[in-house]
Amino acid sequence: MKLWQKISAICVSVLLLVVILCSALLLSQARDSLIQITTERVRSEHLKQKVLFSEMVGYYLIDDSNPIIKRSGIVYCFRRFAENTSVLVDSHGTLFSYTQIEPEKILYIDVEDTLQKHLLSRIDGRNILIVGSPIRLLGDDYIVYTVNDVTEVFDSITAMVWRFVLICGLGITAGTILIIMLVRQAVKPLASLGAITRRISDGKYDERANIDSNDEVGKLAADFNKMADSIQTHIFSLEETANRQQLFIGGITHEFKTPMTSLIIHSDTLLSTELSAEEAKKSLSHIYKQSKWLEQLTGKLLKLIVLKENIVLKSESIKELLDDVYESTAEFMHERKTPLDIECEIESLYIDYDLMKSLIINLIDNASKASEPGQRIILRAYDKTLVVQDYGKGIPQDEIERVTDSFYMVDRSRSKKDGSSGLGLALVKQIADAHKAKLIIQSRLEMGTTVKIVFSC
């Protein structure tokens, strides 16, 4: 997720949280206020009705002592002020009611209690507000109830909630768009700085940030430019040093290793072991061939690397070349227990014999180092192509393009252990380029590496 997206997400989350909390508080207050106003109105009407009813009874029935007349008169007086929400109850039951609800079963009123009571309840899918209070008339106790259907009030609250939701949704949407626009505008200098960083990483070391502001981003840009200046100076110094190393000692020193090892082994054998005349002659012949090859290879590498001269290509027997490579690598391959299989399907190619031998030996050496004991290495020649394939550790995909750089090593700990310098594939590429051949490296971790040299003619 990009920085502007993260900042926008945080701002929108905060906006959403604030809007939801504020809306919830406002809605809760509005709901409570509407319910309170409705309750107070109903209670006030109930009290007014109760007072008028009591005064009428006291005025008309004060002298009546007959229970039947008194009861009828009380009902009559109550009916005069009663509405379809009013209920009159005495100790024997309901005296007057227009509603099907029996409020005395829902809201209990003690005749000894003089306080008015109310209850909001959900009955048969409707919101019902019941208000009740006791009253004493002509020596008897009664209870007056007011039963109000306040469902419309709750419907209004629901409608108000949905209006709030709609308004908040529109506000959040507009706020989100505005936040994204402002944040993207604010982080544009960082995007510009990132683009410059990528161009510098691509090798354009003279790129610099052009951000003129007095905030943290401007200070960061200034520090970045100072860092880029230091890096550019350091890179130029490193490149100059690396070029000198590559031109004067790199390639030659690397190529000495394999033939010198072979020379030492055979020389030591001649000095320390009693050999037959034929065996001694064979060892001396091997020493001579390796020394001769080393001499020729040194001269050709000097021309190729130092003097950058073109090499002379001749038609050479590929079978003879591969057999020579097999003989030259037999000792270190045997020591590492990595067998070499050779498949030759072409007769000849236009090559420089010594340089191509060096190229193949380098590839086999690398393949052997990357393989475990017992893992086979295949050297194959077919259709203007030379292939060295192993089944070893492999090369990470993001490092394949760099393995042909001078002194670059994929596994530095292993390279240090086996004495590698990181020049093998760099020399391979130079020799392939000198032959106008294409170097193709394919690799997968823990599955092995395949290196192809594809000749154009």
The whole-chain average pLDDT of the chain stands at 82
**pLDDT tens digit string along 275-318?**
787 877 777 877 777 776 666 666 566 556 654 667 889 999 99
Q: What is the pLDDT of residue 3?
A: 75
In the predicted model, is pLDDT for residue 327 greater than 60? yes
User: 169 and 234, same structural domain?
Assistant: no
User: 442 and 335, same structural domain?
Assistant: yes
Q: What is the pLDDT of residue 372?
A: 94
- Token representation of residue 192: 């510009």
Residue 242: pLDDT band by 50, 70, 90 thresholds? low
User: 124 and 11, same structural domain?
Assistant: yes
CA gap 292, 353 in Å, rounded: 13
Q: Compute φ and ψ for 388, nearest 5 degrees.
A: -120, 120
- Give the burial class of 125: count Cβ atoms within 10 A of its Cβ; 0-12 exposed, 13-18 middle, 19 or more buried: exposed
Q: Considering Cα of 175, then 180, then 185, then 186, what sign does the dihedral take? A: positive
Residue 414: pLDDT band by 50, 70, 90 thresholds? very low
Q: Could you write out the three-class secondary structure of 135-189?
A: EEECCEEEEEEEEEECHHHHHHHHHHHHHHHHHHHHHHHHHHHHHHHHHHHHCHH
User: 158 and 215, same structural domain?
Assistant: no
Residue 422: pLDDT band by 50, 70, 90 thresholds? very low
CA gap 134, 91 in Å, rounded: 11
Residue 349: CB partners within 8 Å, gap ≥ 6? 315, 316, 318, 381, 384, 455
CA gap 53, 74 in Å, rounded: 9
Q: What is the pLDDT of residue 447?
A: 92
Residue 441: pLDDT band by 50, 70, 90 thresholds? very high
Which has more confidence, 234 or 428?
Answer: 428
> Strand, helix or coil at 2?
coil
Least confident of 100-104, 270-274, 442-446: 270-274
**pLDDT tens digit string along 332-387?**
898 899 999 999 999 999 998 988 988 998 899 899 999 999 999 999 999 999 99
CA gap 89, 112 in Å, rounded: 15
CA gap 56, 117 in Å, rounded: 23
As for how many domains the chain has, the answer is 3
In the predicted model, is pLDDT for residue 409 greater than 70? no
User: 151 and 34, same structural domain?
Assistant: yes
**pLDDT tens digit string along 109-127?**
888 877 889 999 998 889 9
Q: What is the pLDDT of residue 317?
A: 95
User: 236 and 102, same structural domain?
Assistant: no
Residue 321: pLDDT band by 50, 70, 90 thresholds? very high
| Domain boundary, last residue among 150, 173, 196 | 173
User: 227 and 163, same structural domain?
Assistant: no
Residue 445: pLDDT band by 50, 70, 90 thresholds? very high
Question: For position 42, which CATH number holds?
Answer: 3.30.450
With respect to residue 359, please indicate whether it lies within any of the assigned structural domains: yes
Q: What is the pLDDT of residue 343?
A: 95
Q: Could you write out the three-class secondary structure of 185-244?
A: HHCHHHHHHHHHHHHHHCCCCCCCCCCCCCCHHHHHHHHHHHHHHHHHHHHHHHHHHHHH
CA gap 406, 358 in Å, rounded: 16
Torsion of CA 111, 112, 113, 117, to 10 degrees: -10
**pLDDT tens digit string along 68-120?**
888 888 888 888 878 888 999 988 888 888 888 888 888 888 888 778 899 99
Q: What is the pLDDT of residue 226?
A: 81
User: 211 and 358, same structural domain?
Assistant: no
Q: What is the pLDDT of residue 293?
A: 67
Helix (H) or strand (E) holding 443, with range, is: strand 438-444
Q: What is the pLDDT of residue 247?
A: 43
User: 220 and 138, same structural domain?
Assistant: no
Compute and round to an integer the Cα radius of gyration of the chain: 50
Using an 8 Å Cβ cutoff, are 212 and 49 in contact?
no
Question: For position 341, which CATH number holds?
Answer: 3.30.565.10
Amino acid at 289: K
With respect to residue 184, please indicate whether it lies within any of the assigned structural domains: no
User: 217 and 166, same structural domain?
Assistant: no
User: 361 and 223, same structural domain?
Assistant: no
Q: What is the pLDDT of residue 206?
A: 75
Mean pLDDT of 378-406: 90
Mean pLDDT of 162-191: 85
Using an 8 Å Cβ cutoff, are 130 and 147 in contact?
yes
Max avg pLDDT among 252-256, 261-265, 395-399 = 395-399
Max avg pLDDT among 8-22, 198-212, 250-264 = 8-22
Q: What is the pLDDT of residue 127?
A: 92
Q: Which domain holds residue 373?
A: 310-454
| Domain boundary, last residue among 173, 195, 227 | 173
Q: What is the pLDDT of residue 394?
A: 92
> Strand, helix or coil at 447?
coil
Using an 8 Å Cβ cutoff, are 89 and 67 in contact?
no
**pLDDT tens digit string along 140-151?**
888 999 999 999
CA gap 120, 143 in Å, rounded: 18
Pairs from 420-425 (Cβ < 8 Å, separation ≥ 24)? 420/369, 421/250, 421/253, 421/254, 423/246, 423/250, 423/251, 423/253, 423/254, 424/254, 424/362, 424/363, 424/365, 424/366, 425/362, 425/366
With respect to residue 263, please indicate whether it lies within any of the assigned structural domains: no
User: 119 and 32, same structural domain?
Assistant: yes
- DSSP letter for each residue of 371-396: SPTT--EEEEEETTEEEEE--SS---
